[in-house]
C-alpha cells in the first residue's frame, strides 16, 4: 500500500489578481458606453413604424455606420459586463448576483437576434433595394419565431437582470447605495424612453446614461479594492 503525498508548494505560481482587476475594470464601461453611442447615433427611434425606420436608415448612412460599428465592437463587453458585476457581488448577495448576472447575460446574448436587422437594412438600402422590399424583408425577419423569442428574452432579461444587479452591488457593499439604485432604475427608464414615452434625451441620460455611469463607478470600486477583496489568494 502506498499513499500519495500532497503536492509540494510551488514558488513559481504568479499572483495575477491585480492584472485581472485592471482588465475587468477596463472592460466594464465599454459595453454600456457602446450602447449609449449606438442609441445616440440611431437615425430612427423605436416608436417609429418600419417604413419610417428604413427610410431614415437609407437617408443617414453615416449615422447607420456609427450605430452598427459601435454596437458590434462593444457587444462582447456588453455580454461579459454583467458577469463581472455578479462576480463582485457574489459574496454579499449571492442569490441576487447570480440571478441578475444570468438574466442580464442571457438577455444581451439574445439581443443578437434583433441587432442584425439594422445591418441588414443598412446594407440593402445602400445597395439600391427599394424601400418596400427592405421593409418586407425586415418584417419577415422580425416575425420569425427565433426573433420573437429573442426580443422577449432580451427585454425581460436585461431589464430584470439589471434591476437585480443594482440591488446586489448595493447590498454587497461593492459601491455606494446610490450607484446600485442608479443601476437598478436605469433600464426601466430605458424601457420608458424606448416604448412608453419615446425620448432620446431620456434614454441617454436616465436610461443608458445611468447604466454607463453605474458601470464606471463599479469599475472604479474594482480598481480601488484590494486583491484579497477581489479574490482569494491563488494556491501555491
In a domain, 235, yes or no: no
| Residue 13 confidence (pLDDT) above 90 | no
In a domain, 5, yes or no: no
* pLDDT tens string 69-90: 999 999 999 999 999 999 999 9
Report the percentage of the chain scoring pLDDT > 90. 83
In a domain, 102, yes or no: yes
Q: Can you give the pLDDT at residue 9?
A: 41
Range of the domain at 98: 32-228
**Nearest alpha carbon to residue 158 among 215, 109, 90, 209:** 109
User: What is the pLDDT of the chain when averaged over all its residues?
Assistant: 92
Report the percentage of the chain scoring pLDDT > 70. 93
- Structural domain count of the chain: 1
Tell me the pTM: 0.91
* pLDDT tens string 210-222: 999 999 999 999 9
DSSP element (H, E) containing 175: none
**Nearest alpha carbon to residue 70 among 115, 104, 110:** 115
* pLDDT tens string 141-173: 888 898 899 999 999 999 999 999 999 999 999
13, three cell numbers: 505560481
pLDDT band of residue 107 (cuts 50, 70, 90) is very high
Q: Can you give the pLDDT at residue 149?
A: 92
In a domain, 162, yes or no: yes
Distance CA 71, CA 132 (A): 26
Mean pLDDT on 95-105: 98
**Nearest alpha carbon to residue 119 among 104, 141, 94, 92:** 141
In a domain, 2, yes or no: no
Give the Cβ contact number of residue 139 at 10 Å.
Answer: 12
Q: Strand runs (DSSP E) across the chain, as ranges?
A: none
Q: Can you give the pLDDT at residue 11?
A: 55
Exposure letters 165-185 (e unless 16+ CB within 10 A, then b): bbbbbbebebbeeebbebbbb
pLDDT band of residue 111 (cuts 50, 70, 90) is confident
75, three cell numbers: 457587444
Long-range contact set of residues 76-80: C-beta below 8 Å, sequence gap at least 24: 77/27, 77/28, 77/30, 77/31, 77/34, 78/30, 78/31, 78/32, 78/34, 78/35, 78/108, 78/111, 79/31, 79/105, 79/108, 79/109, 80/27, 80/31
Amino acid at each position: 500500500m502506498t499513499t500519495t503525498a500532497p503536492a509540494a508548494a510551488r514558488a513559481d505560481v504568479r499572483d495575477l489578481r491585480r492584472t485581472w482587476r485592471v482588465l475587468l475594470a477596463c472592460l466594464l464601461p465599454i459595453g454600456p458606453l457602446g450602447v449609449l453611442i449606438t442609441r445616440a447615433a440611431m437615425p430612427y427611434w423605436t416608436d417609429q413604424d418600419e417604413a419610417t425606420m428604413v427610410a431614415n436608415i437609407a437617408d443617414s448612412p453615416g449615422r447607420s455606420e456609427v450605430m452598427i460599428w459601435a454596437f458590434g465592437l462593444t457587444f462582447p463587453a456588453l455580454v461579459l459586463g454583467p458577469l463581472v458585476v455578479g462576480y463582485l457581488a457574489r459574496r454579499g448577495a449571492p442569490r441576487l448576483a447570480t440571478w441578475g448576472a444570468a438574466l442580464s447575460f442571457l438577455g444581451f446574448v439574445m439581443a443578437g437576434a434583433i441587432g442584425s436587422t439594422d445591418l441588414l437594412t443598412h446594407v440593402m438600402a445602400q445597395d439600391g433595394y427599394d424601400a418596400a422590399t427592405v421593409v418586407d424583408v425586415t418584417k419577415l425577419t422580425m416575425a420569425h419565431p427565433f426573433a420573437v423569442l429573442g426580443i422577449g428574452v432580451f427585454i425581460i432579461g436585461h431589464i430584470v437582470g439589471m434591476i437585480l444587479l443594482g440591488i446586489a452591488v448595493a447590498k454587497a457593499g461593492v459601491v455606494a447605495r446610490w450607484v446600485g439604485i442608479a443601476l437598478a432604475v436605469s433600464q426601466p427608464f430605458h424601457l420608458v424612453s424606448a416604448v412608453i414615452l419615446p425620448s432620446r434625451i431620456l434614454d441617454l441620460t436616465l436610461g443608458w446614461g445611468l447604466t454607463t455611469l453605474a458601470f464606471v463607478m463599479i469599475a472604479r470600486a474594482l480598481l480601488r479594492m484590494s486583491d484579497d477583496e477581489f479574490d482569494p489568494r491563488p494556491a501555491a
